Structure 1
Amino acid sequence: MKRITMSLLCASLMSLGACSNDSTTTTTDGTTNSEEAGGNAGDNYMNAATNGDSSTTSMPADASAAGSAAATGTAPADMNANSSGATAPHSTDPEFMMSAAHSDQNEIQLSKLVLSKGATGMTKQHADMMIKDHTKSTTDLMAIAKKKGVTLPTDMDAEHKAIAKQMESLSGAELEKQFLNQMVLDHQKTLNTLKAHQTMTQDADLQGFISKVTPVVQGHLDMSKKHASM
């Protein structure tokens, strides 16, 4: 009986040992499987992150467009319109003088227009300065033209007469914005004309006139751009 009991006990112990080993194996296998699963998940996460990083390196459409503009040296569309001011150069001194006289009248009369329609604050100060400085320019130019027998125009050119007519239908902030934008366009054009003709003319009087008024026109342009952007 004792032998049978001991045999059964040994069998039981062996069975327990086997179960214990199986359990360990299962546990070990389970850990291994879990680690493999975790590793796969980590790999998948890193792949997703890498893909995500790749996608985020794409520049937004607007930034990309701005970058392209910077790379090509092009200005925004609203600035390209006035970047050339293509009226220069003039082939003769009389032609230049008549153009310069028109430019003075364009600024003087458009400034008087906005003042007559109640421009205030910064725009009023801007218009007052245009009238003062371009009246002085006209006086200086007329003295030179008289010496050379050139009759200068005393009114705006046809283009600015049309602009004035359009501006007459505006008022308030809309009128002031239109006026300041026009000042940017006009002064860029005038500056280009002055610089171009200075390289061409052999007339000492005109050389002196251009040297005198160019920094004034440059100052007007800078101020106009500043005020138009406000």
Structure 2
Amino acid sequence: MASACGNNESAATSDSAMNADNSTMADNNTMNDTSAMAADAPAMNMASDTATAPHATDEEFMKSAAHSDQNEIQLSKLVLEKGVTGMAKDHANQMVTDHTKSTTDLKAIAQKKNVTLPTDMDAAHKAIATTMGKLSGKDLETQYMQQMVLDHQKTLNTMQAHDKMTQDADLKGFISKTSPVVQSHLTMFKQHAGGAM
């Protein structure tokens, strides 16, 4: 009997220890989950960088679109001047051609509406150009490809958002014509930059 009672006490003690261990494991799991969520936070913030609210006015949209064209044209010219080769060179040449065409189409609409469009990169991309200007070879190609993915995703988001709010037939036509081209660029750069992203 004493032995049996002793065993029962030992079992009770073991049960208490197991419960304590389980509680500790649960706390650890909670901490791990919290840590994982915290680790994911930067990635979520990066993803939100490409989420764009529609512009309040058609004029703001046109100026933003003009900046987008100049960003792609001038960054592409920069990497061409620095001697990128292969697919990067082909893609950069295509960016210059396609975004120059987009600029021409947008200028025609802007002139009808007496809107003066910017003819240079925005401040953020001037800084990016300075950074890229210090790179060469594979590093330059990787940076260029990754930037093109980010830029084209943001441009596509902006176009889709503004298309839902604008009542301007000219801009709706421009978006309808241009957004498939932007989407094709995005797909192309994602395929090329896949290993570097």
TM-score normalised by the shorter chain: which range applies?
A: 0.7 to 0.9
2:84 match: 119
Q: State which of 131, 135, 139 in structure 1 corresponds to 2:96.
A: 131
Q: State which of 159, 168, 186 in structure 2 corresponds to 1:194.
A: 159
Closer, same or farther in 2 for the Cα pair 1:75/1:195, shift >3 Å? farther
* Structure ID, larger Rg: 1
Mapping for residues 175-214 of structure 1, pairs under 5 Å: 175-214=140-179
**Alignment pair present for 1:99 and 2:76:** no
1:220 match: 185
Mapping for residues 33-44 of structure 1, pairs under 5 Å: none
Q: Distance in 2 between matches of 1:143 and 1:118?
A: 33
Give the residue type in structure 2 aligned to 1:166. Answer: T
**Alignment pair present for 1:174 and 2:139:** yes
Closer, same or farther in 2 for the Cα pair 1:83/1:132, shift >3 Å? farther
> TM-score if structure 2 supplies the norm length?
0.76
Q: Distance in 2 between matches of 1:75 and 1:133?
A: 36
**How many equivalent pairs are there?**
160
Residue 141 of structure 1: CA displacement? 0.2
**Alignment pair present for 1:146 and 2:116:** no
2:127 match: 162
Closer, same or farther in 2 for the Cα pair 1:227/1:208, shift >3 Å? same
Give the residue type in structure 2 aligned to 1:81. Answer: M
Mapping for residues 39-50 of structure 1, pairs under 5 Å: none
Residue 84 of structure 1: CA displacement? 4.7
Q: Distance in 1 between matches of 2:64 and 2:109?
A: 14
Residue 88 of structure 1: CA displacement? 2.7
Give the residue type in structure 2 aligned to 1:202. Answer: Q
Deviation track 1:14-48 (CA, whole Å, cap 9, x = no partner) reads xxxxxxxxxxxxxxxxxxxxxxxxxxxxxxxxxxx
For structure 1, list consecutive stretches of 5 or more residues without a partner in the other structure. 1-64
Residue 80 of structure 1: CA displacement? 6.1
CA RMSD of aligned residues (A): 2.1
Q: Percent identity?
A: 71
Detail structure 1 runs of 4+ shifted over 3 Å in the superposition: 74-77
> TM-score if structure 1 supplies the norm length?
0.65
Closer, same or farther in 2 for the Cα pair 1:75/1:213, shift >3 Å? farther
Closer, same or farther in 2 for the Cα pair 1:80/1:228, shift >3 Å? farther
SS at match of 1:81: helix
Give the residue type in structure 2 aligned to 1:162. Answer: A
Residue 134 of structure 1: CA displacement? 0.4
Deviation track 1:52-79 (CA, whole Å, cap 9, x = no partner) reads xxxxxxxxxxxxx9xx99xxxx8993x8
Closer, same or farther in 2 for the Cα pair 1:75/1:217, shift >3 Å? farther
